[in-house]
A and B are shown apart, each in its own frame.
Chain A
């Protein structure tokens, strides 16, 4: 303190570096309580991520503008592209809703991938174990079967968390690998189509077991289910007592506990909903798109859903937009394969977007202030 001139007030933190402010009349201030930014943060982070990944396109010896234009045209430039994008967006939207409800109360469910696979298995189990049901019963039972299987898989994550204090991140991820191996066992083993020329998949579904398609495209009625799920999700979160408790738990778990809200009960319910939604997505995928259970039924929808949810800031309505965007990114990723870029480019881009998104949100809490 003695080094400072006596004219300066003593209370100033010397490490705040007041000397610098003489040269720069602005100083950077961090406000941890500032609300995260508006709609432009996701947009800006997508742009920064696109610029960042352009470096890797250049390294690969291609022109980034050509690549991005090709992706855009591939995803949204034709009616086929648009319908493919929506087909990809349906499972992303449902899984995204699933992880978002868990993230609302800081339950880090990254097991949507496994819950999705279990949902696909559950729906297929209905067709395998009940081959002679009346046709109209199939779709409802398959949807219920898928959602139930996903919900149970979600419980496998929730119970260790509530009763054994096991971190749900690790459990849910480990269960993804278990689900994947279970799927491989079923499609290579007992459920394999005997007439399938060794193709790792179950026999194809009958028309009764398929979701009706919309307008002769690959687009299917799962779209309606997904939109309905968004509406219900938004309604329950905003208008019911359960949603209110959930929001309090997310905002301040200690206050919620003092108010008599049981955290472990909510964790169990939320993980069942989370897993159920992902399982529902899996059921829709097998009965709407694949038409059978097969090897690699999910190209990582469960992981991508995490980005869908964060990009939308866990807002169900915004997730409609972000799932379409990420769905377009996946379809666009397929279309650039024709010019020699690996399709994994889109998953790299997704990771980069998440990076930019969280840094953008935090950067938004900094403010430049004039020093007087």
Chain B
């Protein structure tokens, strides 16, 4: 295969875990809840997948247990932010700190153990001969499902009445409450489901991307995903491309080492982090005079009896 295809494949497989995390983040933020626990939830998702898979060798059970564990963590965040009305930023930081501590604690026994997993792949042999589309000829099912999920989420958010309710809850909760939408239930639901998506990000990371558990193996991907939410303008389809763009940057470091450039690998590994900052600065500069498009009540707890 020629170089462009290789880079594209690397971008897609590197971007898939980011994509799941971004989609989860979008669901959270659309409902008006900032979830900075992405990094911690991804780590818990990854470590639970590693532990359960090494015990059971069953992909489905692993997946379900992972969903349960990350759902609980998401529920905790939701409880703090929605019911107790705590500061969402501090709560998210607590999730991340707790998640990285807990994952290191329970992952001690499986650290470094290779995970003998083979993810089923979908072979589309007829694409092999077409130049650019040959990229899609041999992708695993999680990549395909991540693409489908982002399209489904797009349809859900923009083409269904539930999606409209979601937008209303995130923009103006008191009006949606007056309309008869249960703000609390909507927020809980989307925070928990969104956290499960973040868990899927960790699941993909450890099952397909680098199959052995290392402490702190997400190395900032959760935070890049949070930045990508802004980059994607809270739109799942943009998130798809944004994730692949950053996935490509992530693997660029590895690729460039092949060419034996005189750049130390440490600097190549900095690329995704610095690129995140630069991209955000560019977006900020471009939109400097436009009104913000983020959900309007993002970060504000809803309190029905609030007097203004």
Q: Are A164 and B285 in contact (CB under 8 A)?
A: yes
* A350 CB contacts on chain B under 8 angstroms: 97, 101
Q: Are B104 and A181 in contact (CB under 8 A)?
A: no
Say which residue of B79, B80, B105, B270 sits within 8 Å of A348 (CB atoms): B105
CB-nearest residue of chain B to A29: B305
CB-nearest residue of chain B to A166: B280
Contact of A342 with B by CB under 8 A: yes
Roughly how many angstroms separate A118 CA and B92 CA in the complex, as a whole number? 26
Within 8 A of A (CB), among B270-308: 270, 273-274, 276-277, 280-281, 284-285, 287-288, 303, 305-306
* A310 CB contacts on chain B under 8 angstroms: 90
* B270 CB contacts on chain A under 8 angstroms: 177-178, 181-182
* B105 CB contacts on chain A under 8 angstroms: 56, 342, 344-345, 347-348
* B303 CB contacts on chain A under 8 angstroms: 30, 32
Contact of B91 with A by CB under 8 A: yes
Say which residue of B96, B106, B284 sits within 8 Å of A165 (CB atoms): B284
* A177 CB contacts on chain B under 8 angstroms: 219-220, 270, 273
Roughly how many angstroms separate A287 CA and B299 CA in the complex, as a whole number? 42
Known A-B contacts A165-B284, A307-B97, A351-B99; A363 and B84 likewise in contact (beta carbons under 8 Å): yes
Q: Are A359 and B80 in contact (CB under 8 A)?
A: yes
Distance (whole angstroms) from the CB of B208 to the closest CB of chain A: 23
* B267 CB contacts on chain A under 8 angstroms: 181, 185
Interface residues on A, range: 35 or more
* A365 CB contacts on chain B under 8 angstroms: 85
* B97 CB contacts on chain A under 8 angstroms: 303, 306-307, 347, 350-351, 354
Interface residues on B, range: 35 or more
Within 8 A of B (CB), among A78-125: 108, 110
Q: Are A355 and B264 in contact (CB under 8 A)?
A: no
Please, what's the 1-or-0 string for A138-179, where 1 marks a CB less than 8 Å from any CB in chain B? 000000000000000000000010001111011101111110
Q: Are B86 and A361 in contact (CB under 8 A)?
A: yes
Please, what's the 1-or-0 string for B214-257, where 1 marks a CB less than 8 Å from any CB in chain A? 01000110011011001000000000000000000000000000
Within 8 A of A (CB), among B64-104: 76, 79-80, 84-87, 89-91, 93-102, 104
CB-nearest residue of chain B to A351: B98
Distance (whole angstroms) from the CB of A285 to the closest CB of chain B: 21
Known A-B contacts A30-B303, A359-B84; A342 and B266 likewise in contact (beta carbons under 8 Å): no
Contact of A248 with B by CB under 8 A: no
Q: Are A362 and B80 in contact (CB under 8 A)?
A: yes
Known A-B contacts A185-B266, A358-B80; A348 and B273 likewise in contact (beta carbons under 8 Å): no
Contact of B159 with A by CB under 8 A: no
* A30 CB contacts on chain B under 8 angstroms: 85, 303, 305
CB-nearest residue of chain B to A304: B97
Contact of B108 with A by CB under 8 A: yes
Roughly how many angstroms separate A358 CA and B85 CA in the complex, as a whole number? 10
Roughly how many angstroms separate A306 CA and B101 CA in the complex, as a whole number? 14
* A171 CB contacts on chain B under 8 angstroms: 277, 280
Q: Are A32 and B102 in contact (CB under 8 A)?
A: no
Q: Are A355 and B80 in contact (CB under 8 A)?
A: yes
Q: Are B80 and A174 in contact (CB under 8 A)?
A: no
Known A-B contacts A166-B280, A169-B36, A185-B264; A174 and B101 likewise in contact (beta carbons under 8 Å): no
Roughly how many angstroms separate A119 CA and B276 CA in the complex, as a whole number? 23
Contact of A184 with B by CB under 8 A: yes
Roughly how many angstroms separate A347 CA and B288 CA in the complex, as a whole number? 40
* B280 CB contacts on chain A under 8 angstroms: 160, 164, 166-167, 170-171
* B287 CB contacts on chain A under 8 angstroms: 165
Q: Which of A173, A182, A188 has the most CB of B within 10 A?
A: A173
* B274 CB contacts on chain A under 8 angstroms: 174, 178
Contact of A349 with B by CB under 8 A: yes
Contact of A189 with B by CB under 8 A: yes
Contact of A352 with B by CB under 8 A: yes
Q: Are B85 and A355 in contact (CB under 8 A)?
A: no
* B223 CB contacts on chain A under 8 angstroms: 169-170, 173-174
Roughly how many angstroms separate A185 CA and B90 CA in the complex, as a whole number? 32
Roughly how many angstroms separate A189 CA and B265 CA in the complex, as a whole number? 11
CB-nearest residue of chain B to A173: B223
Say which residue of A167, A185, A344, A358 sits within 8 Å of B94 (CB atoms): A358
* A170 CB contacts on chain B under 8 angstroms: 223, 226-227, 276-277, 280
Q: Are B98 and A348 in contact (CB under 8 A)?
A: yes
* A351 CB contacts on chain B under 8 angstroms: 40, 94-102
Known A-B contacts A174-B220, A181-B269; A355 and B98 likewise in contact (beta carbons under 8 Å): yes
Roughly how many angstroms separate A175 CA and B275 CA in the complex, as a whole number? 11
* B95 CB contacts on chain A under 8 angstroms: 351, 355
Q: Which residues of A pack against B, CB within 8 Å?
A: 30, 32, 56, 108, 110, 160, 164-167, 169-171, 173-178, 181-182, 184-185, 188-189, 303, 306-307, 310, 342, 344-352, 354-355, 358-359, 361-363, 365
Q: Which residues of B pack against A, CB within 8 Å?
A: 36, 40, 76, 79-80, 84-87, 89-91, 93-102, 104-106, 108, 215, 219-220, 223-224, 226-227, 230, 264, 266-267, 269-270, 273-274, 276-277, 280-281, 284-285, 287-288, 303, 305-306
What are 28 of the A-B contact pairs (CB < 8 Å)?
A32-B303, A110-B93, A160-B280, A160-B281, A166-B277, A167-B230, A169-B226, A170-B223, A170-B226, A170-B277, A170-B280, A174-B276, A175-B273, A175-B277, A182-B270, A351-B94, A351-B101, A354-B94, A355-B80, A355-B95, A355-B98, A358-B86, A358-B90, A358-B94, A359-B84, A362-B80, A362-B85, A363-B84
Q: List 4 tightest A-B contacts by C-beta distance, closest first.
A: A351-B98, A348-B101, A344-B104, A347-B101
